[in-house]
Each structure stands twice: as structure tokens, then as C-alpha cells.
Amino acid sequence: MDSIDLDVLKTCDAWLAGGQRCQLVTVIKTWGSSPRPIGATLAICEDGSVVGSVSGGCIEDDLIARVRANGIELARPEIVSYGISADEAHRFGLPCGGTIELAIEPLAPSSRIGELLARLAAGELVERRVQLASGVVTLERAAASAIQRVEDGVLATIHGPRWRLFIIGAGPLSRFLAQVASGLDYRVTVCDPREEYRSGWNLPGVELVHAMPDDLVIEARLDARCAVVALTHDPKLDDLALMEALKSEAFYVGAIGSRLNNEKRRERLKMFDLDEAQLARLHGPVGIYIGSKTPGEIAISIMAEMTAVKNGVPAALLVPHAAAPAAASTQACARVAA
């Protein structure tokens, strides 16, 4: 499962390979409220076909109507704004005071979309630089801290898995979590030294390794763009990986299990000289409370909590699974308990 913006690039590549003209639209700036974030993309083919999104729909309608009426007219990139006036904001469905600035780029084989996709498939984080005056494109390896920007007449966009997720255990829940995370542009690695769990695993785009989990965590050199989720229920596999992850800069560390088993896990982790601040970083039972019962629902719960932490949502606004109402969560907790 690809993210929306990766699907946009793949569709553009297919259109170009078929000899069709198309243009790529990228959100480069917003003011006030905006339906889509900076970096969101939309592609429009010369026949009016469209993939992706840059707003709630009304801006897309305007862009599509122009292409259907006039074809792909642009010879070089152009920057346009929507929603500057109150009338435009109302017409284009933007929230009160919302304004959005877009870069519209006509694509051609020289746009290097195919090369970009190949580098993304290799797991590379890529900075695509477009000269706005000429449309000339260059591709460079991006730094982990790189951000989209427009400077000195160049639009620089960042592509690739800027966030990494390491899942300990290759069970059914891991499969669901890996699929959801991949759709959110995470580079996902699943680690399980148990051959019986790895057999039959086949999830395109997800790396499966058989190393010991703590070795993997150490070798990964976790930074603030990494998350680790332990799902094996086996302390011999989970605990050592969690110990290393809690010492790292990883923005999220979680473990499955009942509240009782997670309390026991915390007591075991204290034996590894983790301090209270490090132990407090452990999300367990993992996920937020959504009444989840099935592996798919639990995966969504985990991904929701991870997303909230990544985006800086205050903990007071979340109901962690560990704090779920006892009567309402008994069945769900029983399903994920060791």
C-alpha cells in the first residue's frame, strides 16, 4: 500500500511512459487553516484524470476545469495562490481566513520522475530541486533534517521515508501495523529471529530480518524520527529491544500486553538500569483506546497513538489503552494479553 503522494508520483510516471502530458501540483505554503499540509501533491493528466489532493476538492475542480478547457498550457513551473480574498476562500471551500499557495509543474521525461521512484524504492531520502525559471530538475540525497522550501528561485521537495518504524515480531498484528505504517510513508522493518513466524511473510516494501531484536535496535542507531513497537509477547525478545530503544532518541517506544504484564515488564526493565524518565517513555499497553478488538483495529490504535506523539499532540488529549475504562476494555485487553 503506497501513500497518496507516492501514488501521485507513480501515476505521473505511468502517464509519461504512455506518452501523455501531465502536471504536478504541490502545496508550498499555507496561511490560516488548510485542508492539506505543505508537501501534499496532486497530478492532473491532459485528459482531465486526476490523482492526489491539495484541498477539500474545490481547488482541484478549478485546476481540472482549466486543464480540460485548455490542456496543459504551462511550459515551465508556476506558483499560484487561492483564497486570498474572502470571496475566493468561500468559493474554493477553504476555512475562514485560509490561503494556499501551489507550485504547478508541467512534467516531461526530463522531470526525472522515474529516476526519483527508483531511488525511493531503494530506501533513499531524496531532495528534488526544480528551477522555477527553467523547469530543470536535479536529484540529491537529502539530509534527515531537510524540509521543503522555495529559495533563490528553486523549489526543493523532500521525498522518501523520513520516518522509520521497527516492529519486533512477525505475527498477524505486525502485518496490519506494517501495512498502515507503510501507507503513512514509514520505512518499516520487521524483526523476528523465529523462523516459524517469518515463513510465509510476504509484504512488499517491508524489510524482514532475522537478527536478534536488541542487536537490530543498536545497529539502527535510532534517532528522533524512529519508532519501536514490540509485539512478540516474549520477554526474551521484547525486553532487550525495549531497553535499547528507551535509551535512544526514538520518538515512540511501545509494547503490547495487558496492564498487568506491562507493569511486570517495567519491573524487569528496572533491572537493566533504566531510570524513571526512560521507563516513563514506554507506551504500554500500546495504543490509544478506541475499543479495538481485532488485529486490524489494534494496529490502527497503535498507529493513532504514534501519530499523535509524532505530531506533538498533548498527552492530556489522548486516552491511552492503559487508561481505558476497565469494563469497556476487558475484552480488548484480553485479546492482546500475553
Tell me, what CATH number does 180's domain have?
3.40.50.720
Give the model's pLDDT for residue 273.
82
Q: Which of 159, 194, 212 delimits the end of a domain?
A: 159
Pairing of strands 78-82, 137-141: unpaired
* pLDDT tens column, 266-280: 999 998 888 899 999
Question: At residue 333, does pLDDT exceed 70?
Answer: no
Question: At residue 288, does pLDDT exceed 90?
Answer: yes
Q: Mark whether 171 and 213 lie in a shared domain.
A: yes
Question: At residue 154, does pLDDT exceed 90?
Answer: yes
Question: At residue 217, does pLDDT exceed 50?
Answer: yes
* pLDDT tens column, 101-153: 999 999 999 999 999 999 998 888 899 999 999 999 999 999 878 899 999 99
Q: Mark whether 32 and 120 lie in a shared domain.
A: yes
Contact 63, 49 (CB under 8 A): no
Give the model's pLDDT for residue 281.
94
Give the model's pLDDT for residue 324.
64
Contact 26, 39 (CB under 8 A): yes
Q: Mark whether 173 and 143 lie in a shared domain.
A: no
Q: Mark whether 298 and 331 lie in a shared domain.
A: yes
Rg (CA), the chain: 23
Mean pLDDT on 206-235: 93
Any idea what DSSP says for residue 272?
T
Q: Which of 159, 189, 216 delimits the end of a domain?
A: 159
Give the model's pLDDT for residue 94.
58
Question: At residue 35, does pLDDT exceed 70?
Answer: no
Mean pLDDT on 163-173: 94
- The mean pLDDT of the chain is 87
- List the single range of 49-58, 77-86, 198-207, 222-231 with lowest mean pLDDT: 77-86
Cβ count within 10 A of residue 156: 18
Q: Mark whether 16 and 100 lie in a shared domain.
A: yes
Contacts for 216 with CB less than 8 Å, ≥ 6 apart: 166, 189, 191, 209, 241
Contact 192, 198 (CB under 8 A): yes
**Preceding peptide of 285 cis, ω within 30°:** yes
Q: Which domain holds residue 147?
A: 4-159
Q: Mark whether 172 and 147 lie in a shared domain.
A: no
Whole-angstrom Cα distance, residue 54 to residue 285? 36
Mean pLDDT on 198-222: 90
Question: At residue 164, does pLDDT exceed 80?
Answer: yes
Give the model's pLDDT for residue 123.
80
Tell which wins on pLDDT, 181 or 58.
181
Half-sphere exposure for 260 (CA within 13 Å, toward CB)? 7
Give the model's pLDDT for residue 90.
61
Q: Mark whether 187 and 320 lie in a shared domain.
A: yes
Q: Mark whether 295 and 190 lie in a shared domain.
A: yes
Q: Mark whether 147 and 248 lie in a shared domain.
A: no
Q: Mark whether 225 and 147 lie in a shared domain.
A: no
Q: Mark whether 43 and 143 lie in a shared domain.
A: yes
- List the single range of 147-151, 184-188, 191-195 with lowest mean pLDDT: 184-188
Give the model's pLDDT for residue 330.
44
Mean pLDDT on 201-215: 90
Q: How many structural domains does the chain have?
A: 2
Q: Mark whether 289 and 238 lie in a shared domain.
A: yes
At residue 164's C-alpha, the angle toward residues 160 and 165, to 5°, is 135
Whole-angstrom Cα distance, residue 273 to residue 261? 19
Q: Which of 129, 159, 189 delimits the end of a domain?
A: 159
